[in-house]
Amino acid sequence: MVAANKTSILVLDDETIVLKRLRPALEKAGYEVEVFSRSSEASERITQKDFEIVITDLKMPGLDGMQFLTMVKERSPTTEVIVITGFATMETAKESFQKGAFDFLAKPFKLGEIQEIVKKAEAKVLKNRMQ
Amino acid sequence: MNWIFGWFKQTLRHGRGPSKQVPFATLFGLFQTILALNNQILDLIAGMGTKLGGNYVFDRQYIRSTCEQLADLVYKLIYNLNAMAPGKYPALYDAFRTIHQEIQEELAGRLVIPQTDYTMPYHLISRDFGDVVGSKNANLAEVKNLLGLPTPEGFAITTRAFQSFLKHNELQEKIQGIATSWENEEITTEAAEAEIKALIMSGTVHPGLQKAIRKALDDLCLRAGDKDVHLALRSSAKGEDTEMSFAGQYLSVLNETPGKVLDSYKEVLASTYPRSAMEYRRQKGFAEGEVAMAVGCQLMIDTKVSGVLYTLDPRSPEREVMLLTANWGLGAPLVAGEVSADEYAVARKSPHSVTAINIVRKETALFPKQGGGTEFRLLDEALQTRSALTDDLINSIVEEGLIIERHFKKPQDIEWAFDQSDRLFILQTRPLRIKAQSGHMACDISSALKKYPIIFENKGVVAQEGIGAGKAFLIKTDDDLVAFPEGAVLVSRYTSPRLAKAIRKASAVITDVGSPTGHMATIAREFQVPTIVNTAVATELLRSGQEITVDARQNVVYEGTVTELCYYEFADEAFEETYEYRLLRRVLKRIAPLNLLDPSDKDFVPEACKTFHDITRFTHEKAAQQLIHLEYANVAGSQTAGRKLDFDIPLALVLIDIGGGLVVSANARSVQPKDVLSLPMRAFLEGLIVPGAWNTDPVSLDFGGFMSSLTRTFSLKMATPRYVGQNLAVISKEYANLSLRLGYHFNMIDAYISKNANDNYVYFRFLGGVTDVTRRSRRVRLLGDILAKNDFRTDVQGDLVVARIKKLDIDGMQRKMRLLGLLVAYTRQLDIRMVSEGEMTRSLEDFEALKNAHGGSTTF
């Protein structure tokens, strides 16, 4: 029950199936995971806590993923943001990277793929912390 | 390929007179478009299928957009075929509209129950029919049909019957009115319930529904071989949520005579519908659709003792025990808590010892009454104090219980009964809700996992997701399969189809070799057994009897039984139970199955197309026929006339030359292989006619389950064009497009070979037809292996092989075409020969040997 030294991840997607699938996979891999299906609640949460990694969908009602990404990076520049989207285009990918996303993944994806990316993001977070 | 089309247009336009028919260049362009669409469609369908395996995270958006994309492509396909053959296949549009409409309804989540009758016998029900027959009926049918455990014979009166009952009696609006008053707190819950109940009881079962129920009863009597049957009617609502919230509210009418079934049907509806309908509204809000009720109608079991099994004690799951209660006679009063019952706590682990026992005095029990109905009877003094179950009976219940739990991936709440001859029947099963918050499960899963040594991880590929724990059991011989213990983990070197009989007993499967798209994956998926294939190390690192836990989600195999992981899974919603999984499975039913098999069959018509795959298949076939059968001689001049290739192998091949593909002097009706100038086609033919490739010895041909179970001898010389198929090659000096129908498989090869290596390519696509799934996937795998071994970029998905190679020089490309020729000749006979896995390995070696044997005269 020592949650303190676990890497924390926030997942935001308006399709709950994505949360249902990602949460157990990430928890079992040793991460501390919080999931949100509404961007308003997720943006509320990031004012209370700085997550090390954020995984967000792009297209959502209300505040969209691109805005959320901007918000996260403004509040906490060291947070690594992974963008997942079913509407993957070169433009959205480019825009995500310009806004500071760590990586960009098109849905559907394999669980293994996102776990790989999360691992890399975690390594970067840890490395930055050491410096 | 568009540039080729453009080039054809230009070449062919010269010197052609006006014609009423579609000009050949246009026709061939359309044909090319159809092939391209065909390829895209099959890729999309195969992709959707693999999403069900559990490796992928997909959402509704994916399902919606893929369905849209597919519908768009299929529509274009039909359009192009009708452009090739104007006005010939308008019925395809109707077939398309019907299928498209059904998919749209599914996507909209509407409570539409298309194509179902008012009743459905249990033997035709699978888990996909949950919306039609209710979850309880669907679960029971799955226990019967997939697990093969004894359940009462019977049928479901569907949710569609219920809808029609409401509609006929104009009840929907009245009920909504009452529910609204209740929501506005104008009337109490009790009053609302009573009013809705009265409405239902006052309704009449309309003649159509009456007739359907009577017919189902007659059929049931016929199956039972008894005219004088007695029945139990049980409610079965659509949707687990409502059912779980109202477990206690559901009524069974027991020991009813057929004459009273209509009344009992209403009674079951009236007693269960009002409460669940109101609760559903309370939970989901106004916008959601209504609850739909189905009812199960089952033969009564001549019950001696009955009761309930919880496969895990929900109060303290960490104790690892099952809870069993039992009483004499029928189980209804026990379920309702009206009588006291004997209680047993039984270890979940084999040998399932009874760890606690509480025998109570059982004064009365419920029994069927002569002539229908039930009555409480005073029990003999001896029975009152005796344990209702012996150790043997306890053991048989808990073993079946664990089989059911393993299948449904959750602890189960099971109603069971023994008849007078001690035969066990499962009457009902549903998931038992285990609270995630209860101490044991709230544990930190990742640190809990650290306690267990990992035997290996990330070896191989997950073919079916899930968690399974048990003793490893290594399969080496067929005898091992017979001895395979219930609940063990099946460990095997190969993924042989022979394993199928043991898979249903296995808690998980691990193999050294094998493919996630192969046969094993199909079986594992059907039985939902967690499976990891191609680990390379399993048989080496695991030994029989070793306790292991297979995490076929994270791809880890642990030493010992990781109970934390199992409970974590219990509390988690299974992937197969998610809405998205079920939705994808449901839409795929209208997309993926192939019903149109034999083009010579009279049912090979647009009207018989039930899926997008059917339409695609039909269109491809007809498009090729259109090119083959048209009399080009009169239309486009002799140059593009279709000519039969005259050679000594049983492959009816028609060649259409669109420029420089044949010797000019070639005679009008048939050509010799030597007349073929087309670079890709010539190479292909050289491979095709290699001596020894066409084995003309009589071989034993087992049509296995496809034509008949008879084994006949069959010589390839005897093969009629009906089996061999009509095949088409459109060629030019540098190009060849082959559409081959080999038996029931479809093979397309598209190649361009010129001096400019950068433009060169060969594209190979093979789609297996029917025959049983085992042989089919073996063939596909063999093709994939051979092509990959010969440098093709190869992609195998389910029943589809796609292989490409590009940018070799003329010599290199021709070698590849020769190889494909040899491969086509060789695989033509594979169905006949690939009877076992060993045969497949031999075939691969065989092929290479055959290839090498001709290294001198023909180079590959």
CA–CA separation, B133 and B236 (whole Å): 7
A118 falls within a domain: no
**What is the tally of helices (H) and strands (E) in chain B?**
29, 33
Least confident of A83-97, B216-230, B472-486, B773-787: B773-787
Interface of B with A in 356-375 (CB under 8 A): none
Which residues from chain B sit within 8 angstroms of residue A8, using beta carbons? none
A126 falls within a domain: no
**Region B221-228 average pLDDT:** 88
Whether B446 sits inside 8 A of A108 (CB atoms) is no
Backbone angles phi, psi at A123, to 5 degrees: -60, -40
Report the run of H or E that residue B256 belongs to, with start and end: strand B252-256
B401 CB-near residues (< 8 Å, 6+ apart): B309, B311, B322, B412, B414
Interface of B with A in 557-596 (CB under 8 A): 565, 568, 572-573, 575, 578-580
Under a CB-based contact definition with an 8 Å cutoff, are residues A26 and A122 in contact?
A: no
Which residues from chain B sit within 8 angstroms of residue A26, using beta carbons? none
Task: Write the residue in B58, B446, B447 that is nearest to A107 by C-beta.
Answer: B58
Distance from CA of A10 to the nearest CA of B (A): 17
- The residue whose two tokens read 């209504």 is B290
Question: Is residue B112 pLDDT above 70, yes or no?
Answer: no
Residues of chain A whose C-beta is under 8 A from some C-beta in B? 1-3, 6, 13, 15, 17-18, 20-22, 24-25, 27-31, 59, 86, 107-112, 114
A125 falls within a domain: no
What is the overall mean pLDDT for chain B?
81
ipTM of the complex, rounded to two decimals: 0.91
Distance from CA of B445 to the nearest CA of A (A): 6
Structure tokens at B384: 């009152």
Which residues from chain B sit within 8 angstroms of residue A25, using beta carbons? 553-554
CA–CA separation, B222 and B123 (whole Å): 14
Alpha-carbon distances of B593 from B254, B348, B588, B600, B609, rounded to whole Å:
40, 40, 8, 19, 10
Distance from CA of A30 to the nearest CA of B (A): 5
A43 falls within a domain: yes
Question: What is the tens place of the pLDDT at every residue in B153-209?
Answer: 999 999 889 989 988 999 888 888 888 888 788 888 888 889 988 999 999 999 999
B419 CB-near residues (< 8 Å, 6+ apart): B301, B302, B303, B304, B425
**Region A119-124 average pLDDT:** 95
Residue B496 confidence (pLDDT):
72
Quick one: which of A84, A8, A24 has its CA closest to B574? A24
Structure tokens at A17: 């199936």
Q: Which of the residues B48, B59, B532 would you substitute to probe the A interface, choosing the one with the greatest number of A C-beta atoms within 10 Å?
A: B59
Least confident of B163-172, B294-303, B327-336, B793-802: B793-802
Task: Write the residue in A1, A22, A107 that is nearest to B444 by C-beta.
Answer: A1
Structure tokens at B798: 């389910």
Report the run of H or E that residue B309 belongs to, with start and end: strand B303-310
Distance from CA of A36 to the nearest CA of B (A): 15
Whether A86 sits inside 8 A of B65 (CB atoms) is yes
Here the CATH number for the domain that contains residue A95 is 3.40.50.2300
Q: Which of the residues A27, A28, A119 would you substitute to probe the B interface, choosing the one with the greatest number of B C-beta atoms within 10 Å?
A: A28
A122 falls within a domain: no
Question: What is the tens place of the pLDDT at every residue in B657-667?
Answer: 888 888 876 55
Q: In B109-249, where does DSSP find H-type helix?
A: 130-145, 159-168, 172-183, 189-202, 207-224, 240-245
Residue B21 confidence (pLDDT):
62
Compute the Cα dihedral for B263, B265, B268, B270 and give only its sign: negative
Question: Is residue B717 pLDDT above 50, yes or no?
Answer: no
Residue A98 confidence (pLDDT):
94
Under a CB-based contact definition with an 8 Å cutoff, are residues B63 and B584 in contact?
A: yes
Residue B775 confidence (pLDDT):
58
In a 3-state reduction of DSSP, which class is residue B560?
A: coil
Residue numbers of the domain that contains A95: 8-111
Whether B449 sits inside 8 A of A28 (CB atoms) is yes
Question: What is the tens place of the pLDDT at every residue in B736-759?
Answer: 999 887 666 788 899 999 998 888
Structure tokens at B174: 């009245």
Least confident of B203-212, B516-525, B582-591: B516-525
B180 CB-near residues (< 8 Å, 6+ apart): none
In a 3-state reduction of DSSP, which class is residue B22?
A: coil
Residue B852 vs residue A86, higher pLDDT: A86
Which residues from chain A sit within 8 angstroms of residue B568, using beta carbons? 24, 28
Beta-sheet pairing, B793-797 with B800-806: antiparallel
Under a CB-based contact definition with an 8 Å cutoff, are residues B424 and B397 in contact?
A: yes
Expressed in percent and rounded to 5, the helix, strand and coil fractions of chain B are: 45, 20, 35
A38 falls within a domain: yes
Whether B554 sits inside 8 A of A25 (CB atoms) is yes
Residue B17 confidence (pLDDT):
39
In a 3-state reduction of DSSP, which class is residue B781?
A: helix
Question: How many structural domains does chain A have?
Answer: 1
Which residues from chain A sit within 8 angstroms of residue B575, using beta carbons? 21
Question: Is residue A114 pLDDT above 90, yes or no?
Answer: yes
Report the run of H or E that residue B121 belongs to, with start and end: strand B119-121
Compute the Cα dihedral for B283, B286, B288, B292 and give only its sign: positive
Residue B31 confidence (pLDDT):
86
In a 3-state reduction of DSSP, which class is residue B700?
A: strand
A26 falls within a domain: yes
- The residue whose two tokens read 């087992």 is B702
Task: Write the residue in B58, B445, B578 that is nearest to A28 by C-beta.
Answer: B445
Task: Say if residue B673 is preceded by a cis peptide, omega within 30 of 0.
Answer: no
**Region B505-518 average pLDDT:** 83
| CA A92-A94-A97 angle, 5° bins | 110
Residue B178 confidence (pLDDT):
86
In a 3-state reduction of DSSP, which class is residue B630?
A: coil
Residue B593 confidence (pLDDT):
83
A128 falls within a domain: no
Exposure b/e, A19-35, CB count within 10 A at least 16 = b: bbbbbbbbbbbebbbeb
> Domains plus CATH for chain B?
153-299 (3.30.1490.20), 303-419 (3.30.470.20), 459-560 (3.50.30.10), 641-853 (no CATH)
